[in-house]
Structure 1
Amino acid sequence: MLYLVALGSNQRHRRLGWPNAIIAAAWQRLAGEGLIITGTSRVVGSRPVGPSRRSYANAVAVIETNLPPPALLARLKRIESEFGRRKGQTWSRRVLDLDIILWSGGAFVSGDPDLTIPHPLMRERSFVLGPAAEIAGDWRDPLTGRTIAQLNARHRRPKKRP
């Protein structure tokens, strides 16, 4: 199975350094977990969503694994924790944030609020769509039928003013 996973960081790590270095270390950590990384985007900067004031470094990776979505999510959450993320830090600064955006199995809904595929907010986030379009532009959103490249183009289009 293939997964599109978003990576984000906006907090310095005492050993790994600044967010760009954390993203690079996260790619290595994912590969060390037996996950096959078949593509990575460039790292882009973005403004924070929510109350955090620190800018983010964001990227996207295509990961190949036999793990079903709940097992992959559990592994991603464990890696976040190992990097220093604390539970209950919604919309705040964090060393590492890992989110499943899409997977080759289509839509997936579970009882876990952290596991809905496609990610419910991906269509609104240029810091996900831009990097994702670089490496998975032909992947389709199973809910809209649009490709990532199309979603990115629509998101970047200037909004009409009333």
Structure 2
Amino acid sequence: MINGAYLLLGSNLGDKRAMLCQAIEKLSQQLEIVSKSSLYETDAWGIEDQPSFYNCVLHVKSRLQPQNLLQLCLEIEKELGRKRIVKWGERIIDIDILYYNDVILDEPELKIPHPYIQERMFTLIPMAELAPDFVHPVFGLTQKELIAECPDTLEVRRVEW
């Protein structure tokens, strides 16, 4: 069965744009990339004393199950030099699964939908660009509705790919 997922990619170290492009290229070797959002820059969220992030969202299709998709994302992060040191800390690449079909999954290593979607404009804005009417399976709200309720005040700026 072909499954649809939305992935959030982020980077705030080195050549952020180039790193995201490398990650997209590696993902495209294993997944069908249906669409890609614009590229956005946002000040760091969570731990604020670090460089700004570049983020984008991909809509992908695959036969992979959620755990296998997570494994692929983690392998690509590792290949590109990701070191997990501090939660919400600086990172050369980050690939998160936001949604997987309308699945709700709560496992120690994998939570779908991503538990912070509704709290982060840097996630909601590119997500809404691709699928404004996609309904969050837990909250029953569209991405546009989640934006209207989001407490995050960080500015999300579109930048050139």
State the TM-score bracket (shorter-chain normalisation). Answer: 0.7 to 0.9
- 2:82 maps to 85
What is the TM-score when the length of structure 1 is the normalising length? Answer: 0.87
* Structure with the larger strand share: 2
- 2:66 maps to 69
Residue number among 29, 39, 42 corresponding to 1:43 in the alignment: 39
Residue number among 110, 116, 120 corresponding to 1:121 in the alignment: 116
1:5-50: CA deviations, max 9, x gaps?
Answer: 00000001xxxxx101211221111001x20010110010011121
CA distance in 1, matches of 2:152, 2:79: 38
Please tell me the residue identity of whatever aligns with 1:39: S
Tell me if 1:5 matches 2:12.
no
1:32-82: CA deviations, max 9, x gaps?
Answer: 1x2001011001001112154100001000010111111100110010011
Shift of 1:157: 9.3
Identity %: 31
CA distance in 2, matches of 1:83, 1:42: 22
- 1:56 maps to 53
Contact 1:39 1:62 in 2 (8 A): yes
CA distance in 2, matches of 1:90, 1:143: 24
Please tell me the residue identity of whatever aligns with 2:20: I
CA distance in 2, matches of 1:68, 1:145: 23
Could you list the runs of 4 or more consecutive aligned residues of structure 1 that deviate by over 3 angstroms after TM superposition? none
CA distance in 1, matches of 2:11, 2:98: 16
Contact 1:51 1:91 in 2 (8 A): no
What is the TM-score when the length of structure 2 is the normalising length? Answer: 0.87
Shift of 1:117: 0.6
Q: Which runs of 5+ in 2 are unaligned?
A: 154-161
Q: Relative CO higher for 1 or 2, CA cutoff 8 Å, sep ≥ 6?
A: 2
Aligned pair count reads 150
Structure 1 residues 120-139: aligned runs within 5 Å: 120-139=115-134
CA distance in 2, matches of 1:51, 1:154: 22
Contact 1:52 1:92 in 2 (8 A): no
